[in-house]
Amino acid sequence: MTNPQLTEHLLAVIRSLPAADRAWLLQQLERDEQALGDPGMAGWAMAGGAFDDLPLEPDVYSFSDGQPVNPG
């Protein structure tokens, strides 16, 4: 099963759930997003010292490097 097929299958299963179960699932996903999103994961990484050596890294890129990004 490919990712798009799996996603469609999961979506069909979720849509078949009773409303109370869908609401519970949404609450769980929102809780996960809050725990893993900014500032959650970044806060953990900073508290653990993951970025402490960044000031020692050389500046290898500037704003004039590469091609402009056009959204859309």
pLDDT tens figures, 30-48: 887 766 666 667 777 888 8
Supply 14's token pair: 């979720």
pLDDT of residue 16: 94
And the tokens for 4? 């798009």
What's the farthest any 2 CA atoms get from each other in the chain? 55
Between residues 55 and 41, the one the model is more confident about:
55
pTM here is: 0.42
Cβ atoms of 34 and 40 closer than 8 Å? yes
Question: What type of residue is 14?
Answer: I
- 4-30: average pLDDT: 91
> Which of these ranges, 6-10, 11-15, 63-67, has the smallest mean pLDDT?
63-67
**Is pLDDT at 25 greater than 70 in this prediction?**
yes
